[in-house]
Structure 1
Amino acid sequence: MVTQSHVNVFLFIVFFQLLALSSGEFLKLPLLHPTPGPSPSEALSQDLRHLNSLLSRPPGIKSPVISGASSGTGQYFVTLHLGAPPQKLNLVADTGSDLVWARCSACRNCSAHPSGSSFLARHSSSFRPHHCYAAACRLVPHSPHGSLCNHTHLHSPCRYEYSYSDGSVSAGFFSAEVATLNTSSNRVAELRDLDFGCGFQVAGPSVTGASFSGAQGVLGLGRGGISFSSQLGRRFGNKFSYCLMDYTLSPPPTSFLTIGGVAKSSTDFRFTPLLTNPLSPTFYYISIRSVSVDGVRLPVSSSVWSFDKIGNGGTIIDSGTTLSFLTKPVYTQVLAAMRKRLRLPSAAPPTPTPAFDLCANVTGLDRKRATAKLPRLSFRLAGGVEMAPPPRNYFIETLEGVWCLGIQEVTTKGAFSVIGNLMQQGFLMEFDRDKSRLGFSRRGCSLSS
């Protein structure tokens, strides 16, 4: 859902007003994780729709993050409490979009309304729609139909419309609300004026279908000024980090989102520059220089990874996409090298959606022995650093005893490559926007970090 993507994080709060903190301080919220169980075919279907949306788009708080695997998504959710009194909402955490929005309801008597399915604006004493002439209203997209302001009414609210390439839409009032967040030390943080979209019209598969099950909106973590990370970053330093744990483990480990601060494992971070693409300024682009399989560098030109003068191509880091997607010149080489070096018998792709090009039969092998027979993938990034995810970050269990390569080819003209959340699992990822760099470490993915 990268124009509007997901990544999901749950924020619980008690009472602690957000004040300007001294350097190095931050809010850290634990991320909870539900019982796993995503369907690879469902995840792939969702990713393809999400990727199409991304490709067609126009040019310290630590929160618990809950995997969306149990609802068939493979995403990560955030729990945010909005309003006075607070109402609990689950939002998709998404580095590929800016807007924070929640499904809203204007009903007065909501006795028949499922609890927590929408934000009830009339039940909050602190709900405040922005005026259509307010400066904040110029920061959001508006409906192409009709004028921005109703000149016959002095109190016209700011109306936004956030559209998806598949026709999905979130539209309503761009507003301000009190948000409360739960910290790892059991303190509650209160944010007085969180700008968000109160979506009275929410329609389409990207925001109402199976891939969105269990969520009431999106928590945008992109680079724009209205994103959650930008709004809180002004108070806690312009950076955020997260650690996405393996949702296939049982019991599931805790993931987290942190706004501000410096991680204890910062000395172990490897840094690569974050690039800005004028065509898509929301996305976090990185520069990949080369890719290797089992230490053998593949014959792929570095230019294949870069975006051109008009913004086509490049590589983004996206928490809202489960699998990883590579443009054709790269994917062809990676797939051939993986096939050549796989030391396991091949297996037929799962049905009814045989969308995976390489599958292995691991019947009779435990996870450790099976993993030892998988090829090792690594990326050489700008800055001279290497990112080498473990095989379980790109081979996924599609059926019992069958593991498939969780990397897909993207063939759309002008397309970019995507490093999805599965590839990022087990890494502490730090997005430092002031220094325009991405830090990553295999250490620090625990509540004690």
Structure 2
Amino acid sequence: MYSSLDSFLSLIFFFTILSLTHSSTEYLKLPLIPRTTLSNVSNILAADLHRISGLRTLPQSPLTSGAAMGSGQYFADLRIGSPPQRLLLVADTGSDLVWVKCSACRNCSTKRPGSAFLPRHSRSFSSYHCYDSPCRFVPQPTPTHCNNRTKLHTPCRYEYSYADGSTTTGFFSKETTTFNTSSNKQGKIKNLAFGCGFKTSGPSVTGSSFNGAQGVMGLGRGPISFTSQLGRKFGNTFSYCLLDYTLSPAPKSYLTIGASSNDVISRKLFSYTPFATNPLSPSFYYITIQSVSVDGIRLPINTSVWGIDDNGNGGTVLDSGTTISFLAEPAYRQVLAAFRRRVKLPAAEGATALGFDLCVNVSGITRPRLPKLRFFLAGKSVLSPPAGNYFIEPADGVKCLAVQAVRPGSGFSVIGNLMQQGYLFEFDLHRSRIGFSRHGCAVR
């Protein structure tokens, strides 16, 4: 875990090495492509459970939903290298490191999205030396390969491990990345620090939830994340919309780095909630849930259920890398009981087999009436998602409550990417707050 001083020094370093070849008054604009289907729900749920079990202990574009490829992730389209190579990375607010799968292939084509980045085909690629200052900001293999000071050309090696046993291992490197800007000009960012991974293993980085991706774009609050590295150049803000995968034709939106909500819609249309702080997990975007209601009736959930204890457990994280949402078990049981009381539809068979506690039969019903869920947050804001954000259709004529329980001592509650659908979320690191609005997605 990084100290405050380490984080400050690392930010100073990255601000120094990053350079931009266009006006800093512009912002980066990466189109979003919504999902077309939500397939392999059991695989997505299993991947989420792996992730939730590991998030508490993790080392600290256009976006495309991976659902059509059997994944519950959203992908960022990163163009990296000189000339640019196109790679799809999982857009993840729950982690920091930017890393890609790398290959030493000399004769592979770079014209189409490949299975890996080809550093031999890029004239701007270089890896950090093991004695370079940035090397100390990534987890090192054991034993370290930088003990012998006579090895003057030893690259910086990293080993990023997840609690479920998944790992990515390779060289911590720097590259030029290419983006479109808000004025539809092409911008280049030099010396973006990232992991060039030559070995990956485990379900988090090779399983069905990772289908179609060649790496991860860490958007967390830590010093080596994509957003932290670009932060000072672009005002320490970023925003995104995760659009409804059921809409046809597919609407277009964007992940933007540096755009203020004033560039898109009136700030009056935003609700804001402050970041909560957890010194033991400083990379995550914590928010504070104060209460929950179902059909306008506030549930009798003790406020301590949402708190962060002295060991860093608890709290609620907004996470784009998790599909469904997870609530602390005492809160989940109250929510589940309230839904069971309020749902007037017949129960669907096989809910347990699908991995959910509540499934209803909606065959022949055009607009089934489903209870309204609301989250009341710190800052007097209310997250009031439509039913499609927490009821999914894993089989024809069946809708299931896409919320799960977090077992006691297992970590924090999570607002996943499904619950975030259709909202414009603005992450304002300068003011330490998150804004959200039901307006502004389609026009971006």
Per the TM superposition, whether the score is higher than 0.5 is: yes
Q: 1:58·1:279 contact (CA, 8 Å) conserved in 2? A: no
1:220 and 1:310 mapped to 2: Cα distance?
A: 24
- Structure 2 counterparts to residues 129-168 of structure 1, below 5 A: 129-168=127-166
Residue 417 of structure 1 pairs with residue 413 of structure 2: yes
- Residue 12 of structure 2 aligns with which residue? none
- Structure 2 counterparts to residues 256-275 of structure 1, below 5 A: 256-263=254-261, 264-265=264-265, 266-275=267-276
- Structure 2 counterparts to residues 4-403 of structure 1, below 5 A: 17-19=20-22, 21-22=24-25, 25-33=26-34, 35-57=36-58, 63-110=61-108, 116-183=114-181, 185-263=183-261, 264-265=264-265, 266-350=267-351, 353-366=353-366, 369-370=367-368, 373-403=369-399
Tell me whether 190-199 or 109-118 shows the greater mean CA deviation.
109-118
Give CA deviations for 1:309-336 in whole Å, capped at 9, x if unaligned. 2211110000000000011100000000
Letter in 1 for 2:24: L
Cα RMSD (Å): 2.0
How far residue 376 of structure 1 moved from its aligned partner, in angstroms, is: 0.3
Give CA deviations for 1:2-61 in whole Å, capped at 9, x if unaligned. xxxxxxxxxxxxxx9544624xx42222112453242221211111111112133357xx
How far residue 181 of structure 1 moved from its aligned partner, in angstroms, is: 1.4
How far residue 87 of structure 1 moved from its aligned partner, in angstroms, is: 0.8
How far residue 290 of structure 1 moved from its aligned partner, in angstroms, is: 0.3
| Partner secondary structure for residue 422 of structure 1 | coil
1:275 and 1:115 mapped to 2: Cα distance?
A: 38
How far residue 115 of structure 1 moved from its aligned partner, in angstroms, is: 6.0
Q: 2:53·2:411 contact (CA, 8 Å) conserved in 1? A: no
How far residue 112 of structure 1 moved from its aligned partner, in angstroms, is: 12
Letter in 1 for 2:359: C
Q: 2:172·2:196 contact (CA, 8 Å) conserved in 1? A: yes
How far residue 271 of structure 1 moved from its aligned partner, in angstroms, is: 0.5
2:147 and 2:434 mapped to 1: Cα distance?
A: 40
How far residue 249 of structure 1 moved from its aligned partner, in angstroms, is: 2.6
- Residue 3 of structure 2 aligns with which residue? none
How far residue 255 of structure 1 moved from its aligned partner, in angstroms, is: 3.7
Tell me whether 413-422 or 178-187 shows the greater mean CA deviation.
178-187
Letter in 2 for 1:35: T
Letter in 2 for 1:99: L
- Residue 9 of structure 2 aligns with which residue? none
TM-score by length of 1: 0.90
Give CA deviations for 1:221-276 in whole Å, capped at 9, x if unaligned. 00011111111112011011111001133333224211112122222111101122
Q: 1:166·1:204 contact (CA, 8 Å) conserved in 2? A: yes
Change (3 A) 1:137 1:146: closer
Letter in 2 for 1:275: A
- For structure 1, which runs of at least 5 residues remain unmatched after alignment? 1-15
What number of residue pairs does the alignment pair up?
Answer: 423
Change (3 A) 1:347 1:304: same
How far residue 345 of structure 1 moved from its aligned partner, in angstroms, is: 1.6
- Residue among 435, 440, 443 paired with 1:444: 440
How far residue 184 of structure 1 moved from its aligned partner, in angstroms, is: 5.7
1:310 and 1:163 mapped to 2: Cα distance?
A: 21
Change (3 A) 1:274 1:157: same
Change (3 A) 1:96 1:133: same
Give CA deviations for 1:276-296 in whole Å, capped at 9, x if unaligned. 211111110001100000110
Change (3 A) 1:136 1:38: same
| Partner secondary structure for residue 78 of structure 1 | strand
1:72 and 1:161 mapped to 2: Cα distance?
A: 27
Q: 1:65·1:254 contact (CA, 8 Å) conserved in 2? A: no
2:119 and 2:422 mapped to 1: Cα distance?
A: 38
Percent of aligned positions that are identical: 58
2:72 and 2:309 mapped to 1: Cα distance?
A: 31
- For structure 2, which runs of at least 5 residues remain unmatched after alignment? 1-18
Letter in 2 for 1:387: L
